A and B are shown apart, each in its own frame.
Chain A
Amino acid sequence: MSIYWVIAYFLVLALTLIYKTPIVRGPWLFLLRSFFPNWKFFHTVGYVPHLYARASQVSANGEHTWTAWEHLYPRTSPSFWQLFHNPHTNLGLAQQNLIDHFWADLNDAPDGSDPRSLVTYQMVAHFVQGVLKNKHPQHSHSQFELRMLLDNTTGTVHTHVMMTSPVEVLS
């Protein structure tokens, strides 16, 4: 008897791939989303959000001298022992997940709204400050951009800027 239930279940699953249902949203649903997994991993190829940041020094007459834009994208080297303990790589993956959520928040925000009210914006701004302060302790200001990169099998084929932050004082 169980086999019929299992077959019926996977038939329903196959139907869900064809028929789309409305997306239910809410702050608690977001925080408890682990109860409702969609199990869709690495499924679509397209534009991916990437974080870039730069720092500046201000001259006596108020002009900014900027560093080059730095790509804040996590990269690590594989090792067999990371199968058992891998905090550095997992933090990098979590960082990139947050950038994805930041992009999704910006995408969902109403036109004309201030992105600085978003929790993801504040987290990214705080993170950028920490990274730039560490790398460029003598610099006084920071700025970051969210860029959308489209890759093919050989490299990035198109980029556009989704958001540029205001210039902030490095604190």
Chain B
Amino acid sequence: MTLDWTIPFVLSTPWAIRALELLFALSAGIQTLEYWRMQAAMQGKGLWVWSIQRQDIPTAWIRDVLDKLFTPTMFRVLLLTRLLALLSLLVQGGNLLNIGFLFVSNLAVLIRWRGAFNGGSDFMSLVVITGLLIAQVASCFTDTEVAWRAGFWYITIQAMTSYFMSGSVKLLQPEWRNGSAMTIFLNAAIHGPLPSGHWLRKPWLATSGSWAFIVWECAAPLALLDARLALIFCLIAALFHFLVFWFFGLNRFFWAWVATFPAIVWCSGQI
């Protein structure tokens, strides 16, 4: 594909909707299948037993409801129903029923993991499903184009905020500016520590890498100026998230952020 800079590029709304639904279904499907494989850690001598965690719930009647929902059998049913809803999103597209269920069940799963399982990827997954829900609910009251505009912009603003904030807070830290933070975090990562001769142990490379990420993240809002810029931004972002997966094991971050790309490209074509 070549980018023609002389004519405006706009991602069509039906294409953006379909791409968003497919990528979210893939992202949430990967997460749900992983939860399925983690059930041993939620029972017996596992770390995540509900009999202890239930004390986190401050309201008695909600605790009673969740006691029933989070029995091993009911939780399996919840995960299976989520997979069915994701399959329906994949095949048929979104509707109020499957999106509504995915939103509510997403909240239930998050509460089962004390509010977040994997931090940022949970936040971004919730952003995308909330954007899809906004579009579905608003479609009941106004025309579909306006409803999707609201959903896409909600996702895009959150995604751009995530890059901008993440870059800006690093810019304020001397350890990020001199490159040492990257080596320290990589050593402490789940795949760490870095081997003694690893190229990221070279201070000048760690500093260059840190600055490249900081500048790129802080400049993220500029991608909204043109859909072609947004496409390039998303390609770099995919590479960035892949590197984060490779070094930190955060596969869910990759898919959660990739799912926002159709909204980013669509919105950048509207300004």
Contact = CB atoms under 8 A, between A and B. Distances in A.
Q: Are these two chains actual partners, yes or no?
A: yes
Interface residues of B, number: 77
Given A39-B166, A75-B191, A123-B52, A83 B251 contact: yes
Most buried by B among A28, A83, A90, A96: A90
A104 interface: no
Interface stretch (B8-16, B36-44, B71-79, B94-102): B36-44
B37 A45 contact: no
Given A76-B190, A98-B47, A122-B52, A43 B173 contact: yes
B70 to A, nearest CB: 13
A160 to B, nearest CB: 17
A14 interface: yes
Contacts of B165: 13, 17, 38-40
Contacts of A35: 126
Nearest to A48: B188
A133 B45 contact: yes
Contact of B123 (A9, A37, A78): A37
Interface in B41-68: 41, 44-49, 52-53, 55-58
Given A34-B126, A43-B173, A153 B116 contact: no
B190 A75 contact: yes
Interface string A72-109: 00111110001111110111111111100100000000
A80 B176 CA distance: 28
B58 A27 contact: yes
Interface residues of A, number: 61
Contact of A85 (B34, B44, B242): B34
Interface in B149-181: 157-158, 160-162, 164-166, 168-170, 172-173, 175-176, 180-181
B115 A3 contact: no
A17 B271 contact: no
A130 B47 CA distance: 8
Interface string A22-65: 00000110111111011111111100100000000000000000
A96 B119 CA distance: 11
Interface in B99-144: 107, 110-111, 113-120, 122-124, 126-127
Given A34-B126, A43-B173, A3 B161 contact: no
Given A123-B52, A123-B53, A153 B180 contact: yes
A60 B175 CA distance: 54
Interface of B, helix, strand, loop or mixed by DSSP = helix
Contact of A33 (B115, B176, B184): B115
Most buried by B among A42, A123, A151: A42
Contacts of A13: 161, 164-165, 168
A87 B117 CA distance: 11
Contacts of A38: 165
A84 B26 CA distance: 9
Contact of B251 (A14, A84, A133, A153): A84
B191 A76 contact: yes
* A-B complex: 8 closest residue pairs judged by Cβ atoms: A130-B45, A37-B123, A89-B249, A39-B165, A87-B37, A127-B47, A39-B162, A43-B169
22 contacts: A2-B271, A13-B165, A31-B110, A31-B111, A31-B114, A34-B126, A40-B165, A43-B176, A44-B173, A45-B173, A75-B190, A85-B34, A90-B118, A91-B41, A97-B116, A97-B118, A97-B119, A119-B53, A123-B49, A127-B46, A130-B45, A130-B46
Interface of A: 2-3, 6, 9-10, 13-14, 17, 27-28, 30-35, 37-45, 48, 74-78, 82-87, 89-98, 101, 119, 122-123, 126-127, 129-130, 133-134, 151-153, 155
